[in-house]
Amino acid sequence: MSSSETQVRDADYWSCQMEAVSRRRDRDSFLRIYDHYAPRVRLYLKGIGSPEAVAEELAQEALLRLWQRAALYDPARSNLSTWLFRIARNLHIDRVRHEPCWMELENEPEWPDIDGGFSSAESHAEQADLQNRIELLPTIQARLIRMSYFEARSHQEIADQLGIPLGTVKSSLRRAFMRLQLGVRGQV
Amino acid sequence: MTLRHHLDEATVISFAAGALSPEMSAVAATHVGVCRVCRERLSDAERIGGALLGQQQPTLADEARSARLREAMLKLLDSGPAMEDPPAIGRGPHVLAPTDPDHLPRPLQPYFGRSWRELRWRWVAPGMHMIRAARGSGDTLILLKIAPGKSMPLHSHQGTELTQILQGAYDDALGHFGPGDVADLGDEIEHQPITARGVSCVCVAALDAPLRFPGWLARKLQPMVGL
């Protein structure tokens, strides 16, 4: 089985688990999601600057929200890891960086895609395609993407750290986004 | 609203990643609040974040912690509220009627207060008023009000300037900027905005480095303006 097929199967698998939580409040399914995603959310939070203990606490809170908000889940429209990414990031910005506008953004009534938690149409095949595109990024673009998402580094910090001009950081990120966006949008 | 000028995709990525400073985030959020194009791009950038989250590889040490945390989670499932009612989630008392014309865009309220009427503008130069946000992480966040038909001093930037037009309009070498448009400028841009006739141009700008003024008069002005 190719890695792409594995990823589609994985996305389907997690979607089914989530559907079981949503429809039947299936605890076993929730715990499967928890066991897989909680360590990943903790790692992500530590990377962007939550201290260890805070990362543990926020990851617990993110997964608990998933349990509590499961009724909002629409398997046809949503991706679990995108939802968890949003919640974890928002919790970090709210609790660790104490920035007020983020959670307000989340509460904004005209933001159903964020408020409701799960995003608009996103097939599992598209998500798998996106995973592949990330793996195929040129080395420098992959590095800049990771420094942005996993270390929350600003363009200037990346430029200083890697010793490259600010304009190059921006144009590389722009190109990376366009490559990945093709995956997100399901175009070829 | 159909807008002409959007956030740079690189800025959208950083915004989605939580990698913009609070000041830059406030301006980006103000723009995204009125711009469908950038909202969709933000959503795409968050999907990239989701895919990256799924690719994280926990180590054995991470796995070792998991047993204790799993026990704690099971207790939470037993004791916590069963399920939240969707409409009630996260709605704080701060939710405002979005239609009140006296209210500033929500992302700016923590910095400048809620009401346009209660803003205390400070004169900095003929035809130019400013308010600098008190709270801050290191970047500068300002509200600017420039009289109609006024030419700003020619300047460039040492870093990034993110400016959202809230009212009125200006023109510069990059084009016409009206309400809702954002100017996402890097250090390679030198520009001289000229405000449109008729109504004052009000904008919010985040700067991560001081401006550079090439002219002697503008340089003299710089210490006064404090940018």
**Lowest mean pLDDT: which of A68-72, A174-178, A182-186, B189-193?**
A182-186
Question: What per-residue confidence (pLDDT) applies to A102?
Answer: 55
Range of the structural domain that residue B118 is part of: 1-81+104-227
Task: Tell me if B34 is assigned to some domain.
Answer: yes
Average pLDDT over residues A76-80: 70
Query: CB of B180 within 8 A of CB of B115?
Result: no
- The C-alpha of A116 sits at a distance from chain B's nearest C-alpha, in angstroms, of 8
Give residue A110's pLDDT band: very low, low, confident or very high (50, 70, 90): very low
Cross-chain Cβ contact A177/B45 below 8 Å: yes
Output b/e per residue, B217-227; b: 16+ Cβ within 10 A.
Answer: ebeebeeebeb
Q: What is the pLDDT of residues B125-139, one digit of tens each?
A: 889 999 999 766 778
Closest CA to B207 of A156, A92, A167, A105: A156
**Chain A residues near residue B10 by CB distance under 8 angstroms:** 155, 169-171, 173-174, 177
| Whole-angstrom distance, CA of residue B140 vs CA of residue B74 | 45
Burial of B40 (0-12, 13-18, 19+ CB in 10 A): middle
Residues 6+ apart with CB under 8 A from A99: A93, B22, B25
Domain borders along chain A are: 3-115, 137-184
Output b/e per residue, B147-176; b: 16+ Cβ within 10 A.
Answer: eeebebbebbbebbbbbbbbebbbebeeee
Does A116 score more than 90 pLDDT?
no
| Whole-angstrom distance, CA of residue A177 vs CA of residue A139 | 14
Task: Tell me if B157 is assigned to some domain.
Answer: yes
Does A109 score more than 50 pLDDT?
no
Cross-chain Cβ contact A173/B13 below 8 Å: yes
Does A119 score more than 50 pLDDT?
no
Q: What is the DSSP letter of B138?
A: S
**Chain B residues near residue A170 by CB distance under 8 angstroms:** 8, 10, 186
Task: Tell me if B91 is assigned to some domain.
Answer: no
Give residue B3's pLDDT band: very low, low, confident or very high (50, 70, 90): confident
- The C-alpha of A129 sits at a distance from chain B's nearest C-alpha, in angstroms, of 10
Residues 6+ apart with CB under 8 A from A170: A155, B8, B10, B186
CA distances from B38 to A112, B104, B182, B216 (A): 15, 20, 11, 38
Task: Tell me if B95 is assigned to some domain.
Answer: no
Task: Tell me if B94 is assigned to some domain.
Answer: no
Average pLDDT over residues A155-184: 90
Q: What is the pLDDT of residues B18-48, one digit of tens each?
A: 999 889 999 999 999 999 999 999 989 998 9
Which residue blocks in chain B are alpha helix, DSSP H? 9-17, 22-34, 36-54, 60-79, 109-112, 216-225
Q: What is the pLDDT of residues A16-65, one digit of tens each?
A: 888 899 888 899 999 999 999 999 999 999 999 889 999 999 999 999 98
Average pLDDT over residues B140-167: 88
Question: What is the ipTM, given to two decimal places?
Answer: 0.85
Burial of A155 (0-12, 13-18, 19+ CB in 10 A): buried
Question: A3-115: what CATH class?
Answer: mainly alpha
What's the CATH number where B73 sits?
A: 2.60.120.10
| Whole-angstrom distance, CA of residue A67 vs CA of residue A75 | 15
Task: Tell me if B88 is assigned to some domain.
Answer: no
**Residues in a beta bridge with B130:** B122, B144
Does B90 score more than 90 pLDDT?
no
In degrees, to the nearest 5, what angle opens at C-alpha A59 toward C-alphas A57 and A64?
95
Cross-chain Cβ contact B8/A81 below 8 Å: no
**Residues in a beta bridge with B155:** B191
Candidate from A64, A83, A174 with C-beta closest to B9: A174
Of all residues in chain B, the one with the smallest CA distance to A11 is B54
Task: Tell me if B191 is assigned to some domain.
Answer: yes
Whether A97 has its CB under 8 Å from any CB of chain B: the answer is yes
Q: What is the pLDDT of residues A20-29, one digit of tens each?
A: 998 888 999 9
Question: What per-residue confidence (pLDDT) applies to B83?
Answer: 60
Task: Tell me if B189 is assigned to some domain.
Answer: yes
More confident residue, B53 or A185: B53
Of all residues in chain A, the one with the smallest CA distance to B209 is A156
Mutate to test the interface with B, among A124, A177, A178 (most CBs of B within 10 A): A177
Please tell me the total count of domains within chain B: 1
Question: What per-residue confidence (pLDDT) applies to B53?
Answer: 92
Cross-chain Cβ contact B66/A146 below 8 Å: no
Q: What is the pLDDT of residues B94-110, one digit of tens each?
A: 333 456 888 999 899 98
Cross-chain Cβ contact B86/A92 below 8 Å: no
More confident residue, B224 or A42: A42
Of all residues in chain A, the one with the smallest CA distance to B158 is A166
Q: Domain A137-184: give its CATH architecture.
A: Orthogonal Bundle (1.10)
